[in-house]
Amino acid sequence: MDSPTVCGEHVDTRRIALLSILTALSVAIQLAPRFPNVESTSLISFTVGVVFGSLTGAFLGALVMFANGYLSFWGLAELNMPFQMVGMGIVGLVGGLYGKTIEKGEIVSRRNIVEAVILGAFLTLIYDILTNFGFAVQLSLFTGASFWLAFVGVLITGAVFAFIHVTSNAFLFMIAMPLAKVMRQLTK
């Protein structure tokens, strides 16, 4: 039996199934009641980028944040949603770029795990700065406050949450490379 095709292109059903499951899992975890700023979407977006490439990782991250922006019990993301989508897209994009530097047989090594932890912490910090920037834009538009005053205020009031976010993601990213290995095995 021939493999399925769409517009003459081979369709990898295992890949589509895994990406669908990971997207649904990420959205479900984002929407589940949890401690603020402890999330796994960054880990999944990054790892999908490592395994399936930058575009796929970025798309998954942005799509999950789009759904989260409308459905979250924290409320509608409003003007901050594009910043959330770009931030999580960057996480998946960098995962794909990092994946290109890893040799196929060496995906789970001490070096790769340490690099993933450092990247996870750094990317989480970038995400938090971007989303704080977006919230400051929204705050300054709706209150008439100076943007820079709003941005500094948001950074200061969000410092504890950023610390929790960066620290929890650093710990979560310890499993990024073993997770990437499993994903690769599932799609062979």
Annotate the chain with three-state secondary structure: CCCCEECCEECCHHHHHHHHHHHHHHHHHHHCCCCCCCCCHHHHHHHHHHHHCHHHHHHHHHHHHHHHHHHCCCCCCHHHHHHHHHHHHHHHHHHHHHHCCCCHHHCCCHHHHHHHHHHHHHHHHHHHHHHHHHHHHHHHHHHCCCHHHHHHHHHHHCHHHHHHHHHHHHHHHHHHHHHHHHHHHHCC
Q: How confident is the model at residue 76 (pLDDT cuts 50, 70, 90)?
A: confident
What percent of the chain stands above pLDDT 70?
Answer: 93
* CATH assignment, 5-186: 1.10.1760.20
Q: How confident is the model at residue 37 (pLDDT cuts 50, 70, 90)?
A: confident
**pTM of the predicted structure, to 2 decimals:** 0.91
Q: How confident is the model at residue 34 (pLDDT cuts 50, 70, 90)?
A: confident
Residue-range domain boundaries for the chain: 5-186
Specify the pLDDT at position 9: 63
Residue predicted with more confidence, 3 or 39: 39
Mean of pLDDT over the chain? 91
pLDDT over 90 at 18, yes or no? yes
Specify the pLDDT at position 103: 74
pLDDT tens for 99-150 read: 999 877 788 889 999 999 999 999 999 999 999 999 999 999 999 999 999 9
